[in-house]
Every structure is written in structure tokens, then in C-alpha cells.
Amino acid sequence: MLTIGIIDPFPIMRTGLSVLLNTHYEDARLFQSRSLEEFPQMQQADLPFVVILGISENAKENRLISVRKCKKAFPTAKIVVYDYDLVQEMIFSYFMVGIDGYLLKQHSEHQLITCIESIIGGKPFLSPELLDDFVQPLLLRTDSPIRKIRKLTSYEFELAVYLSQGQKNTVIAGILDCKPSSVSSIKRVIFKKLMIQSLSELRGILNLK
């Protein structure tokens, strides 16, 4: 039986998604909450196979941190980021830290079902519009920053994002549950892999526009 978790701060959005999913997956079990912290406590065997993580316009928390917390809470689940608005440089970041699907709330309902079907079939999903308008042009560029970024592990990439955002080592250490000295060590590894010497160069590489 398919189990789906819905996390979104807006009741209307959660209700609409529940109706849509119940229509397409009559036997599915749905659990919903306005936040990860308020999600029902469940046994390991009952954890959702797919979690739809809604990102709101007024999200106070860093988007990558929200994804990281979701992955920690549901380590075996497939994570779908259901975003309020398009932040192009975040798309690659989301997939690097381990999400399985990405689409915008203004996309058609059909796309969400297509996304879930793709994930159930073992394939990641990105909205066709975003794939055509953003990702494919980047991949075709010989100077694409993606070619450099792919040298990093997902852990190194996430740390690089926080560094580029100006987060202090102590803050990053708290997010990643490691020592500040470890952040400094990994920072040196990142700079070596990307062949850069400054945070400004790192920001330039991570700006995927």
C-alpha cells in the first residue's frame, strides 16, 4: 500500500493535495501536517514512501535545511519539493542534497501525479518546462558550472552552499552536526576540487543562472 506524507503550512493546499491523491490512489494512506515538527509519530514500517514537502512564500528556514531535516526524519522516503516560486540556482542544489522530484505549485495537477509515478518507478522527476528552460541549456554549455560541481560529494556540495550564503563555520557545524574544525577541513577540500581560492569564486560557481 502506498503511503504519502504531505507537509505544507496551508490547510487549503494540504486538503487539495489529499483530494487529488485520493482520486488517483484510492488505497493510498495519506498523512498530512503543516510542519515537519507536527507530523504524526509513526513506526518505522509505517513511514511514508513519498513525502511532498511544500515550500511557502514566507518560509523562514533555509530551503536546503528544510530538505535536510525532512530526509533525516524520513531516511527511506522519496522527497518531492513542491515549491512556491522558482529559484533557478536552487534546482541543482535540491537534487544534489538528495531530493527525488521537483515542481512548482502553479504547475498542473497532472504533473504531480506524473512526478509520483516517476518516483515509484525509480526515476527522479523534474518538471519538463524547467528541464527545457534551465537544465538542458546548462548541460550543453562547455563552461557549465555543473561540470565543476559534480566533482563534489552531496555532503561537500551542501556545505559549499552554506559557505556561499555567508554562514559561519559554527553555524554550518550545527546544521551538519559536525565540528567547526571539520567544516574548515572540508572547505579546503572543496576549494581544491574546484580549483578556487576564495568564497567569491565559490559563489560564482554556485550561481547557476
Does the pLDDT value for residue 146 go beyond 90?
A: no
pLDDT tens per residue across span 9-68? 999 999 999 999 999 999 999 999 999 999 988 887 788 999 999 998 766 567 888 898
Q: CATH fold of 3-139, please?
A: Rossmann fold (3.40.50)
Does the pLDDT value for residue 142 go beyond 70?
A: no
In DSSP notation, 120-157 reads HTT--EE-HHHIIIIIHHHHH-TT-HHHHHTTS-HHHH
Q: Where are the domains of the chain?
A: 3-139, 141-206
pLDDT tens per residue across span 169-205? 999 999 888 999 999 999 999 999 999 999 998 988 8
Across all residues in the chain, what is the average pLDDT?
86
**Range 2-12 average pLDDT:** 95
pLDDT at 3: 95
| 78 backbone φψ class: left, alpha, beta (φ>0; ψ -120 to 50) | beta
CATH 3.50.40.10 is right for the domain spanning 141-206: no
pLDDT at 209: 44
